[in-house]
Amino acid sequence: MGENSSPVSPGRRTFLSASSGALAAAVAAPPFALALGEPASSNAQAAPQSAPRKIPIGVFDPVFESLPLDAMIDKISAMGIEAVEIGTGGYPGSPHCPVQELLDDSGKLRAWQKKFADRNIQVATLSCHGNPLHPDATLAQRDAESFRRTVLLAEKLDVKVIVGFSGCPAGGPNDTMPNWSTFRWPPEFGQVLDWQWKEKVIPYWKQAARFAREHGIHRLAFEMIPNMVVYNPKTLFQLREAVGEEIGANCDLSHLFWQGCDAVEVIHLLGKHNALFHAHMKDTVMFGNNVAKYGVLNFAPDDNDLSQASETFRAVGYGHSANTWKEIVKAYMDVGYRGILSIENEDPILPGEVGVERAVYVLKNVRTELLGASA
């Protein structure tokens, strides 16, 4: 989640051309089936509905952080957006949600809710992406408090899903910076992983999930992302098994495309185990010539270095074709997903509302095709 550059964006004709042409067909890492054993689960797969659900299309509000609340609601209503994911702290901040004010004043809370209700926009999720496991106690406490207040606000708003990161602790008791370890060799890295999970990750999230449960929140949706301990479905299930069924996924496929995951496989896997709580709609384009030379762990440190990157985030339809996104939305329908399709735009070429508008266009069209096909 960072600031994007703002080059002149192409018009709708260019967009339509790109969606079916070279840009959307940019070389992607070949998908493969997840090499993942079936995790234990006491829940059966949710029974598919007799007819596909019209999944609401939403947006993650920090993309409009420069707009005041009323202007943001006007903007998304005009775009035909049906739901919102509201930032309540952490890295995205809370540009449209004065969390403590709403907790302290029930009148302000009702007035805030009414602004969305009057436009038939669902406040679907609250998001506090932070690092409550940070070795800096001040930073960890800040993000843990953000999570606590988000739970209390979700309870008052009757919002059932909280989205965030799993966090990343230090590599040992004397470290001062987070340490993202993914491989158990050489042996000291295995020791790092064991210490992190036993001493930090599991204890914190057991306590946090218990607090959420006590306030009626049973779905903590973790974004699977590098530099956090939960970065793929396997590590998500590892935390879920240790903590409980409050732990589930924010399925942001943009972070899984470059890892080589098959989007439809992932959705079906998560759905089978009732671990699919939220979905970010964001694409990734792979630059095959750079992948061939540098591999996939090669993100551009800055938008000016895109020519050297192996991949970058794009708006929906600009990394994978509209047909691929149709298969993805169909998979969400097939597993009986009950959340929203929340557009998160971090496209360096189509920044801000331009990328959101293009994503809405693709998602509404594929949803209409799917619902029409089932009629």
Q: CA torsion sign, 66 to 72 to 74 to 78?
A: positive
Task: Give burial (CB, 10 Å; 0-12/13-18/19+) of 324.
Answer: buried
Helix (H, G, I), strand (E, B) or coil at 362: helix
Residue 302, pLDDT score:
81
Asked whether the predicted pLDDT for residue 340 surpasses 60, the reply is: yes
- Give whole-number Cα distances, 110 to 61, 101, 103, 104, 115, in Å: 19, 12, 11, 12, 9
* Average pLDDT of the residues of the chain: 89
Give percent of the chain with pLDDT exceeding 90: 84
Residue 51, pLDDT score:
85
Asked whether the predicted pLDDT for residue 161 surpasses 60, the reply is: yes
Residue 309, pLDDT score:
96
How far apart are alpha carbons 327 and 320 in whole angstroms? 11
Per the document, the length of the chain is: 375
Residue 50, pLDDT score:
65
Residue 94, pLDDT score:
98
Asked whether the predicted pLDDT for residue 5 surpasses 50, the reply is: no
Confidence of residue 43 (pLDDT cuts 50, 70, 90): very low
Confidence of residue 373 (pLDDT cuts 50, 70, 90): low
pLDDT tens, 98-135? Answer: 999 999 999 999 999 999 999 999 999 999 999 999 99
Residues forming beta bridges with residue 205, ordered by sequence position: none
Mean pLDDT within 239-254: 98
pLDDT tens, 291-309? Answer: 999 999 999 878 888 999 9
Mean pLDDT within 212-219: 98
The torsion region of residue 278 among left (phi > 0), alpha (psi -120 to 50) and beta comes to: beta
Residue 174, pLDDT score:
96
- List alpha helices for 131-262, DSSP H: 137-157, 187-195, 202-214, 233-243, 254-257
